[in-house]
């Protein structure tokens, strides 16, 4: 296409900023992903272990 000159300085700056933002987003995403694996999940309720199970309950491992 005739009439197109070299890339303008302003356009190059925009592209560089776009790349930097993408790299920052990727770094944040990876950081959140690594932190997610180390923290316990508070949304999952766990049953207390100090409570004895009733042998008649359906949750008892050796119940009938």
Q: SS3 for 15? A: helix
Contact 60, 53 (CB under 8 A): yes
Q: Which two tokens stand for residue 53?
A: 């199970």
Contact 54, 60 (CB under 8 A): yes
Q: Which residue has the higher pLDDT, 37 or 27?
A: 27
Q: What is the pTM of this model?
A: 0.47
Mean pLDDT of the chain: 78
Cα 35 to its chain centre, rounded Å, is 8
Report the pLDDT value the prediction gives residue 55, as an integer from 0 to 100. Answer: 63
Does residue 35 surpass a pLDDT of 70? yes
């Amino acid at each position: 296409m005739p009439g197109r000159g070299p890339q303008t300085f302003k356009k190059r700056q925009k592209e560089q900023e776009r790349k930097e933002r993408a790299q920052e987003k990727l770094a944040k995403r990876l950081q959140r992903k690594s932190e997610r694996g180390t923290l316990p999940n508070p949304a999952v309720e766990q049953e207390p272990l100090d409570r004895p199970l009733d042998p008649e309950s359906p949750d008892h491992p050796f119940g009938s």
